[in-house]
Amino acid sequence: MSTFIHPTAEVSPQAQLSENVKVWHGVQIREGAQIGDNCILGKNVYIDSNVKIGKNCKIQNNVSIFHGVTIEDGVFVGPHVCFCNDKHPRAINADGSLKSDADWEVSQVLVKKGAALGANSTILPGVTIGAWATIGAGSVVTKDVAAKTTVIGNPARKL
């Protein structure tokens, strides 16, 4: 088997794709991103710079994975999941000037091995999702989720 990149996908030459990766329609993978063996990236997935995705992951359609996110092996990310990386997002400073990279501090997100994130869930900055945890569809994860725990709702709470 070999890596497949759909003709409509945009993959930076500085991204690292391992063996047998499938990149479908409209996917964008930015510089420094690392995608592990056997991953499937569905239609319109956005992988920001320096994102790390482990082996055997399934990233469904329309997922946004921003800078600062690390996804370990065997993770399922349902359609329309959004990872956030800024605890204090603003377009401008108090004086009205446009914010720049110097005004921004990335907050890391870690999704551990075997976790499953349901459709339309939102993962806020600074969160760790434990190994084999399950995030219910539509949940808003505002704090760490323990391994082998299921959370649902807004804010996400243990089921």
Neighbours of 2 (CB within 10 A): 6
Query: In degrees, to the nearest 5, what angle opens at C-alpha 134 toward C-alphas 159 and 53?
Result: 155
Q: Please report the pLDDT score of residue 1 as a whole number.
A: 62
In the chain, the percentage of residues whose pLDDT exceeds 70 is 99
Over residues 14-28, the mean pLDDT reads 98
Q: Averaged over 128-145, what is the pLDDT?
A: 98
pLDDT at 137 over 90: yes
Residue 152, CA distances (Å) to 64, 109, 110, 111 in order: 20, 18, 18, 16
Superfamily of chain region 1-87+101-159: Hexapeptide repeat proteins (2.160.10.10)
The 3-class secondary structure across the chain, one letter per residue, is: CCCEECCCCEECCCCEECCCCEECCCCEECCCCEECCCCEECCCCEECCCCEECCCCEECCCCEECCCEEECCCCEECCCCEECCCCCCCCECCCCCECCHHHCCCCCEEECCCCEECCCCEECCCCEECCCCEECCCCEECCCECCCCEEECCCCEEC
Amino acid at 158: K
> Which pLDDT tens digit goes with each residue over 4-18?
999 999 999 999 999
Strands 116-117 and 150-152: unpaired
Please write the tens of the pLDDT for every residue from 43-73: 999 999 999 999 999 999 999 999 999 999 9
Do the beta carbons of residue 111 and residue 69 sit within 8 Å? yes
Give the model confidence (pLDDT) of 67-121 as tens digits: 999 999 999 999 999 999 999 889 999 999 999 888 888 999 999 999 999 999 9
pLDDT for the residue numbered 102 = 84
The β-bridge partners of 17 are 35
Q: What is the domain partition of the chain in residue ranges?
A: 1-87+101-159
Catalogue the active-site residues. Answer: 88
Residue 132 reports pLDDT greater than 80: yes
Q: How much of the chain exceeds pLDDT 90, in percent? A: 92
